[in-house]
Amino acid sequence: MVTAIIVAAGSGVRMGEGPPKQYRLLSGKPLLCHALSAFDRADCVDRLVLVTPKEEKLSVIRPIMERSPVKKPLALALGGDCRQGSVYNGLLASDPATEIVLVHDAARPFVSAAETARCVAAARAHGAAVLAHPASDTIKCADEEGRVLETLDRSRLWQVQTPQAFSFRLLLEAHEKALEEGFSGTDDAALVERLGRPVLLVFGSRWNIKITGPDDLLIAEAIMAARRGKLP
């Protein structure tokens, strides 16, 4: 069984005023519905878990789900104070028969079924796999005053995206160890890496952007329009 956890419990402060990021409209549909329907369409996924903000009332989620229903079984979980806590709650709400779990940011509406299938296959073979794209900018390390300390070797740098796919038991173990030891990472793979377990990179597309600020929403609308054939 493959379960996709979609984390949509952030407050989206970088988006500025207005509703939280996951409810912003992209082509007339809340952002979180784009991610949910991508996994609903993906043949390799059996079940869905949606993690919503802690203070969220079912009355907010229900009308959204009624407007964009999913066909696959869907469980709801409440978010944590940080992304890592939200993923952990999503793991606890997953069907225990899950073998492979996918973790995906609701803020990435453009994930494809092919990318999802490649991540699942790589996680079955290696235990852990993340979608990633080679870094196109040169990346420098700097101190607090903005003085460059080091220029990193770009040929070995990857920008990591979601979905990230794992053996369910491995990710649960990694989260429990991190919780016990007070470690917090910026993605789930980092928790598995610290167990000394291999994580495979799966080549992802540059379309799979994360919506962070209002400018990203403009880019996302342009991508949607291009997909509908309205842009060159």
Give burial (CB, 10 Å; 0-12/13-18/19+) of 28. exposed
Q: Report the half-sphere exposure of 227 (CA within 13 A, side-chain side).
A: 11
Question: Count residues contacting ligand C5P (CB under 6 A)?
Answer: 17
Q: Among 82-90, 116-124, 127-135, 192-200, which window interacts with ligand C5P (CB under 6 A)?
A: 82-90
Q: How far is the CB of 230 from ligand C5P (least distance, A)?
A: 27
- Interface segment toward ligand C5P; rule CB under 6 A; list 77-85, 115-123, 139-147, 187-195: 77-85
Instruction: Indicate whether 164 belongs to the interface with ligand C5P (CB under 6 A).
Output: no
CB atoms under 10 Å from CB of 219, counted, come to 11
Which is closer to ligand C5P, CB of 34 or CB of 47? 34
- Count other C-beta atoms under 10 Å from residue 157's C-beta: 14
Q: How far is the CB of 52 from ligand C5P (least distance, A)?
A: 8
Residue 186, token pair as written in the block: 């910026």
The nearer residue to ligand C5P, 121 or 158, going by C-beta atoms, is: 158
Element (H, E) at 161: strand 158-167
Closest approach of ligand C5P to the CB of residue 135, in Å: 18
Which range of residues in 8-16, 144-152, 197-205, 220-228 is near ligand C5P by CB under 6 A?
8-16
Residue 105 or 115 with smaller CB distance to ligand C5P: 105
* Whole-angstrom distance, CA of residue 212 vs CA of residue 180: 30
Assign 177 to helix, strand or coil.
helix
Q: Which of residues 89-118 bind ligand C5P (CB under 6 A)?
A: 105-107
Task: For residue 159, state whether it binds ligand C5P (rule: CB under 6 A).
Answer: no
Of residues 212, 214, 217, 223, which one binds ligand C5P by CB under 6 A? 212
DSSP letters, 61-127, are HHHHHHHS--SS-EEEEE--SSHHHHHHHHHHTS-TT-SEEEEEETT-TT--HHHHHHHHHHHHHHS
CA dist 135 and 138 (Å) reads 7
Q: Where does this chain bind ligand C5P (CB under 6 A)?
A: 7-10, 22, 51, 79-83, 86, 105-107, 210, 212
